[in-house]
Amino acid sequence: MKLPNTIVCKKCVLPASKPDIWLNESGICNICLEYEKTKGSQECPASLETEFIKMLNMYKRHGKYDCLVMCSGGKDSTAALYYMRGRYKLKPLAFTFDQGFETEEALENVKNAVEILGVDFLFFKSNFMKDAFAKIIRTNSKAVICHLCSLWYMDLTFEIAARFNIPIIIGGWTKGQSAKQPLMSRCGCNMHQTEFVSMAKATNEFVERHLRTDPKYKDFPKSMEEVLARARKRHKCAVLSPHWFLPYDSEAYLELIQKELKWKFPSLSYPANTTNCYLNFLSVYNSIKYFGYTHYHVEMSKLIREGLLTREEALKMLEINFDESLLASVLQKIDCKLGDVPV
């Protein structure tokens, strides 16, 4: 595959990608420079498990389910389900959404977890997004496929929470995917961060110009702020992740879910040792082609700055481990082909 050669920051794993990211004469990116300049004034105490428990008790209501747990089959969301059921003794509804690209291994992980934990499980599979993904390819849009998908599945998740009158949504977001906020305000990537400005602009423009002009997607949300605004009108609920509050790293709970829930790594994933859908490979390819990096680079760079991950570990995990034959098989699922993807 032909991907751009990029010069990477010597402290994190972000490449030079103007106008948002640039490196100084020492090879350090502006994001790391800003972090060093402001970390003293912006540092806040680490979130504690006691805070999480207080929030659970604050939002919990007497109903059939205490929380809706978003389960992708990855280690982080599987551990989140395990904690909700086993550690906090809540009544969760496990919820898995499949836009047509979930891996068999990920779904097997979810199946094992819900059966062993004895929790109710809702599986939602839809081809609704297929045409939207194809539009990105056919219009040569720089829109980030994963970001577009996240708008769809968070809107769907809020809808399911409202339908079952569930007061808390639990995700498997890690510390690298948050800005140390006690409640999720933007559900994952903060599109107002410098690293995401160009990506957010491209996705927003795609929704406005190419998606909402299609009757099928005329009501599609153009931003996570719009998703949240709709959700607040429909149903009041909190969005949390236990990983923001617990001191354990992923290695600790990985061993736990492997032993207790028969959890397994997929045979192929990106980044390495993760569980993402097949469409993720195409999203990664496009993001690196257009921007030089992905949201995974942003997440891992945060962890590096906070001392939770080494730069060497991140670089190893971010190595491209898939080829054009895999991309071709993914494109075929949305009735596209490699020739439709500009190089």
Q: What is the mean pLDDT of the chain?
A: 90
Q: How many CA atoms lie within 13 A of 25 on its CB side?
A: 0
The residue extents of the domains of the chain are 49-244
Residue 2 banded pLDDT, cuts 50, 70, 90 = low
Burial of 127-151, coded b for 16+ CB within 10 Å and e otherwise, reads eebbebbbbbbeeebbbbbbbbbbb
Which one has a higher pLDDT value, 182 or 8?
8
Domain 49-244: CATH superfamily is HUPs (3.40.50.620)
Residue 251 banded pLDDT, cuts 50, 70, 90 = confident
pLDDT digit string, tens, across residues 274-328:
889 999 999 999 999 999 999 999 999 999 998 989 999 999 999 998 999 999 9
Q: For residue 98, is pLDDT > 60? A: yes
pLDDT on residue 33: 97
pLDDT on residue 250: 85
DSSP annotation of 273 reads: T
Q: What is the arithmetic mean of pLDDT over 230-243?
A: 92
Q: At what angle do helices 145-163 and 130-138 cross, to 10 degrees?
A: 160
Q: For residue 47, is pLDDT > 90? A: no
Instruction: Give which of 200, 214, 72, 227 is closest to 134, Cα–Cα.
Output: 214
Q: Tell me the residue length of the chain.
A: 343
Q: Is 23 exposed, middle or buried (0-12, 13-18, 19+ CB in 10 A)?
A: buried
Q: For residue 43, is pLDDT > 90? A: no
171: amino acid identity, one letter? G
Please tell me the least confidently modeled range out of 24-28, 52-56, 57-61: 57-61
Handedness of CA 223, 294, 6, 305 (dihedral sign): positive
pTM confidence score:
0.91
pLDDT on residue 179: 46
Residue 73 banded pLDDT, cuts 50, 70, 90 = very high
Which one has a higher pLDDT value, 56 or 40?
56
pLDDT on residue 308: 87
Instruction: Give which of 81, 72, 122, 139 is closest to 101, Cα–Cα.
Output: 72
Contact call for residues 314 and 301 (beta carbons, < 8 A): yes
